[in-house]
Every structure is written in C-alpha cells, then in structure tokens.
C-alpha cells in the first residue's frame, strides 16, 4: 500500500485515539504509531501542529501529560470554528507569498499556511451538508488531505498551481471519506440482509427437521459455501450452537 495512504489512515487513528483520551496524546505515542513509516522530525512536527490546531494537546510524554490541567478536552466544532475565525482575524498573510514560501521548503510558512487554510476547509465541509457523515469528520479528513498535499508543493511551478492542487487534495480527501462511509453502510446493510436470510433459513429448516441443524446442512439447504455461512454466524448477535460449535447469531 502507498505510504501516503497508510500515513493518512494512521493520522486518522491518532486523532481518534486523542479524542478518546480526552483530547490528549503524547509525542512518544505518535512516534510509536508512525514508527514503521519513513518520516523525519520535520514530518512529525507537522503532525503535532495539525493536532494542536484542532485543540488536541500534545505533551512530550506521559509524565508531562499527567501534569496537564484536568478537564481540558478537545474542542467542539463550534469552539473550533470560533478559534479559526480569531486566527484569521489576527493574521494578515498573503496566500501567494505563503504558497511560494512553502514550495521553497520554509517550515514557518508551512505552519502559517495550515492555519490560513483551516477556515476554508470548514467552509468546504459545510458544502457537503446532508451527507451521512459528521462535519467534524469531514474537517478532519480535509485537514489530513491538506497536510499530505503540502509535501508536494515544490513540484508545481507557481502559486496558482499550488493553490489548485491543495484545494483539489482537500476536496478529494472529503469525497473519499464520504465514499468510504457509503461503502461501509452498504456492506453493513448487505451483511444484515445475509444474517436475516440465514436466520430465516435456520428457522425453516429446524421446523421441518424438528431438531437443531448443522452448518453443513445449512450449506446444502441454501447452496451456500460453508465458510460463508460460518462467517455470517460469527458476526451476528446472540449465541447459538451450530454443528457443535458456538457461533453468533442475531
């Protein structure tokens, strides 16, 4: 798998872990989670910056994390947007100059450009209102798309091309998240349908045979591979016994 795709997935997992921990994750844990990727300290600093911009606290280690004030959790979306508006009001930056500076490899300009684009990412996420995915998740995906795209600005000849690439990368990241969410929903719906179909078959066959049926009998009855039947049973709900083995059934 492409390292960029792996990095994007891992960054999403890091954000989720931080949210579950009350908006805190240590640099030690981040480094450990990303240790299998060819990242330099500069890349890690970008990750820390990305998390900080979203209200995630990033202490160096567990000892420092324990010293953080209690009750400070990650920002809600409304607070996040307010913070972005304040940042935009305080910083009068020229986008073209920032893009050229980032393309030239200036780290400070990269951090400023991230902050400059965050309000726009929120606006772009709002354009997808109505899709079955939370705005917070779309903003997160857009931020990750931006972060990854900034690594390649040096490949473009001018600021206009850089801007187009960044906006397209953010949009593609959001669309990919929506598509992934739709695919997951379809898989879940298909699996529910299979479970219901199998459940009905078990009831009918047990009624006809007047006894508990085996997985092999179900396989023959439905003309369905035995492994597929066991897979369906394993992901369903309440415990039942099939062929002497406890499987799961809804």
Which positions ≥6 away from 155 have C-beta within 8 Å?
Answer: none
- For residue 83, CA distances in Å to 76, 131, 136 come to 11, 25, 15
Domain that holds residue 1: 1-74
**Residue given tokens 């709900």 in the structure block:** 237
Mean pLDDT value across the chain: 79
End-of-domain residue from the set 167, 186, 205? 186
- 84 and 162 assigned to the same domain: yes
> pLDDT tens for residues 108-132?
888 888 888 888 888 888 888 666 7
Q: Are residues 69 and 130 in the same domain?
A: no
Question: Model confidence at 247, in pLDDT bands (50, 70, 90)?
Answer: very low
pLDDT tops 80 at residue 94 = yes
pLDDT by residue (tens digit) across 156-196?
888 899 999 999 999 999 998 898 888 888 888 888 888 88
User: Do both 94 and 36 map to the same domain?
Assistant: no
Interval 202-227 mean pLDDT:
87
* Alpha-carbon dihedral sign for residues 154, 159, 165, 169: positive
In whole angstroms, what is the distance from residue 101 CA to residue 107 CA? Answer: 9
Q: Is residue 75 very low, low, confident or very high in pLDDT (cuts 50, 70, 90)? A: very low
Instruction: State the CATH number of the domain containing residue 137.
Output: 1.10.1740.10
Verdict on whether the full-model pTM lies above 0.85: no
| Length, in residues, of the chain | 250
Count the domains in the chain: 3
């Amino acid at each position: 798998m492409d390292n960029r795709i792996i990095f994007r997935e891992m960054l999403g997992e890091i954000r989720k872990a931080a949210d579950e921990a009350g908006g805190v994750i240590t640099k030690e844990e981040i480094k450990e989670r990303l240790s299998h990727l060819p990242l330099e300290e500069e890349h890690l600093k970008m990750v820390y910056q990305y998390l900080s911009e979203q209200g995630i606290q990033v202490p160096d280690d567990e000892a420092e994390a324990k010293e953080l004030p209690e009750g400070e959790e990650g920002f809600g979306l409304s607070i996040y947007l307010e913070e972005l508006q304040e940042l935009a009001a305080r910083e009068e930056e020229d986008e073209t100059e920032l893009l050229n500076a980032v393309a030239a490899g200036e780290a400070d300009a990269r951090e400023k450009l991230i902050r400059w684009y965050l309000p726009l990412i929120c606006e772009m996420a709002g354009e997808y209102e109505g899709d079955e995915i939370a705005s917070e998740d779309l903003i997160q995906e857009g931020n990750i798309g931006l972060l990854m795209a900034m690594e390649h600005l040096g490949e473009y000849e001018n600021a206009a091309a850089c801007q187009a690439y960044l906006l397209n990368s953010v949009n593609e990241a959001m669309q990919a998240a929506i598509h992934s969410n739709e695919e997951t929903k379809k898989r879940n719906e298909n699996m529910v349908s299979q479970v219901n179909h199998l459940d009905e078959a078990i009831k009918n066959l047990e009624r006809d045979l007047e006894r508990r049926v085996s997985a092999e009998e179900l396989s023959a009855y439905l003309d369905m591979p035995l492994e597929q039947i066991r897979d369906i049973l394993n992901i369903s709900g309440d415990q039942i016994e099939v062929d002497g083995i406890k499987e799961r059934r809804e």
